[in-house]
Chain A
Amino acid sequence: MSKHLRFIARTIMVQDGNVDAAYKTLNRVLTQDGIIESVKRKRYFEKPCRERQRKSYENCKRIYNTEMARKIAFISQTNRADPWLGC
């Protein structure tokens, strides 16, 4: 941190003395930036073979989840084009 400007990145101001909300916001921002999970992962060494397995697993999971969410959203949509239009 000493090489960069301090108190600019990863900083949240506390509003109205609400430290809990500020900490929650900080946690949310850090998880969204992927810092918390990377710190947890780097606690122990992850062998390159395990890293490749994990990456491919996350990729497949992401593809599956997006496809499934697309299908569910398509089926559960309410504003559909009228199938009997014109007859």
Chain B
Amino acid sequence: MFKLNCILASSVSNVCRQLSASLNASGSSLKVAYGFGSVGLQRTLCASAVRLQDTAASIAGSEKSSRDYSHFSPLIDQESSLRWGGKKFEELPIVHVKATYNNTHIQLTESTGQSMVRTSCGTEGFKNIKKSTPIAAQTAGISAAAKAKAKGVTFVRVVVKGLGPGRLPAIKGLTMGGLEVVSITDNTPVPHNGCRPRKARRL
């Protein structure tokens, strides 16, 4: 962790050069680099609501490459010059991936919430047990990406819900179909002891 901090401190010039080269940022890239560094460290210190342990937050926050890249999403109130296809992070469309144990649904919505594309393993022609396979999820991802490209979408942020077999293959299918994934969020519902689930299976 100390080494990473050294790399971060000593490569500010690299950061500016690479940021401006890769993101076509305006002339204030130097300020942005400093802002990002301090933002990243601040985000490391104030743990978010779901982070139960500090170790995870500090590990994720201290993993900074020489490009001053942050694992966290850009805060809305902070000015960040990161743009994907000209859009800010909050305006990118969202792909909701619901990975249940029996099926995988993929829905592409605008940042407002308007649904654009909806596919699932069932709509791809799989039936019953074949829907709960990673291959079915991958084909659903590819077809969703193809439909999205027809509507002119390139950059997208992904929200996964559930721990099913199609969790990772759906995202892989999206990238194989040509969409660019910008960020991955996990929105798996974790109840704070709400509804009682079904009884334990005795095999």
Contact = CB atoms under 8 A, between A and B. Distances in A.
A20 B197 CA distance: 32
A23 B168 contact: yes
A14 to B, nearest CB: 5
Interface string B20-59: 0000000000000000000000000000111111011001
B197 A43 contact: yes
Contact of B73 (A13, A15, A25, A39): A13
A44 B196 CA distance: 9
A86 B81 CA distance: 67
B148 interface: no
Interface residues on A, range: 35 or more
B163 A36 contact: yes
Interface stretch (B102-110, B120-128, B175-183): B175-183
Interface centre among A5, A11, A33 (most CB of B within 10 A): A11
B181 A14 contact: yes
A46 B196 CA distance: 9
Contacts of B90: 7
A23 B203 CA distance: 32
A9 B51 contact: yes
Contact of B190 (A11, A17, A19, A35): A35
A13 B201 CA distance: 38
Interface in A1-59: 1, 4-15, 17, 19-20, 22-23, 25-26, 29-30, 32-36, 38-40, 42-47
B188 A15 contact: no
B184 A22 contact: yes
B49 A45 contact: no
A81 B72 CA distance: 46
A7 B181 CA distance: 14
B70 interface: yes
A14 B89 CA distance: 12
B65 A11 contact: no
Contacts of A5: 76
B157 interface: yes
A57 to B, nearest CB: 17
A7 B51 contact: no
Contacts of B53: 32-34
B71 interface: yes
Closest 3 CB pairs of A and B: A32-B56, A10-B186, A9-B48
14 contacts: A7-B183, A8-B72, A9-B48, A10-B185, A11-B185, A11-B186, A12-B184, A13-B73, A22-B184, A33-B53, A33-B56, A39-B190, A44-B199, A45-B198
Interface of A: 1, 4-15, 17, 19-20, 22-23, 25-26, 29-30, 32-36, 38-40, 42-47
